Amino acid sequence: MSENTVFGHLPNGEEVKSVRLVSGEYSVTILTLGAIIHQFNVPCRGSLRNIVFSSPDLAGYIGDSSYKGQCVAPYANRIRNAEFCLDGVRYTLDRNNGPNNLHSGSGNLGQKNWNIIFQTDNSVVLNAEHCAMEGGFPGNIGVTVSYLLTDGRLTISYTMVSDADTAVNPTNHSYFNLKGDGSPIFDHIVQIFADKVITVDENLIPVSAVSVKGTDFDFTSAHLIGERREGRYDHCFVFSEEKKAVVSCGGLRLTVETDRPGMQLYTGEFNPDCPSLWPHSGPFCALALETSAYPDAVNRPDFPSVVLEKGAIFNSRTSYTVEEV
Catalytic residues: 173, 290
CA dist., res. 137 & res. 102, Å (int): 13
CA dist., res. 107 & res. 117, Å (int): 22
| Rounded alpha-carbon distances, angstroms, from residue 154 to 37, 94, 111, 172, 258 | 10, 32, 22, 12, 12
Closest listed residue to residue 93, CA positions, set 11, 202, 84, 315: 84
| Rounded alpha-carbon distances, angstroms, from residue 157 to 47, 51, 67 | 29, 20, 19
Q: What SS3 class is residue 158?
A: strand
Burial label for 112, CB within 10 Å (0-12, 13-18, 19+), is: buried
Measured torsion, CA atoms of residues 317, 134, 36, 125, in degrees rounded to the nearest 10? -50
* Residue-by-residue DSSP string for 161-180: EESS-EE-B-EE--EE-TTS
CA dist., res. 307 & res. 201, Å (int): 24
Report angle CA 106, 109, 113 to the nearest 5 degrees. 115
**Spatial contact of 75 and 68, defined as CB atoms under 8 Å apart:** no
| Rounded alpha-carbon distances, angstroms, from residue 276 to 39, 84, 96, 118 | 11, 37, 25, 29
Terminal alpha carbon distance of the chain: 31
